[in-house]
């Protein structure tokens, strides 16, 4: 939640001005985070990890970990 608060201006400008010169990777990471969070919440009310939504949550989670790691590494190397 703190990360979202820190970047709130970025998110609001995305909706106000569109993609423009914004990082497409950051947009994808944000969307994947929302999808993983929502599917995780849905899993609380269904049969669990072996359900169809559980498998989607798992697959999207794996993809997210790879993209989150790449996002962090990219941001860290740009700072230095």
The token pair that represents 48 in the structure block: 């669990």
Instruction: Report pLDDT for 79.
Output: 58
Is residue 80 exposed (0-12), middle (13-18) or buried (19+ Cβ within 10 Å)? exposed
Residue 28 has a pLDDT of 82
Query: Is 12 a member of any domain?
Result: no
- Four-CA torsion 5, 10, 16, 21, nearest 10 degrees: -170
Question: Could you tell me if residue 28 is inside a domain?
Answer: yes
Please state, rounded to an integer, the average pLDDT across all residues of the chain: 80
Whether this model's pTM surpasses 0.85: no
Output the CA–CA distances (angstroms, integers) from residue 44 to 31, 37, 61, 73, in the order listed.
21, 11, 16, 32
Could you give the number of structural domains in the chain? 1
Residue 31 lies in a domain: yes
Quick check: is 60 in a domain? yes
Domain that residue 65 falls in? 23-79
Encode pLDDT of 52-76 as tens digits: 888 888 898 898 888 888 877 876 6
């Amino acid at each position: 939640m703190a990360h979202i608060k820190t970047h709130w201006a970025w998110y609001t400008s995305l909706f106000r001005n569109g993609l423009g010169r914004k990082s497409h990777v950051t947009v994808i990471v944000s969307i994947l985070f929302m999808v993983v969070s929502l599917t995780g919440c849905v899993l609380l009310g269904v049969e669990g990890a072996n359900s169809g939504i559980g498998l989607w949550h798992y697959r999207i989670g794996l993809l997210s970990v790879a993209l989150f790691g790449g996002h962090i590494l990219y941001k860290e190397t740009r700072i230095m």
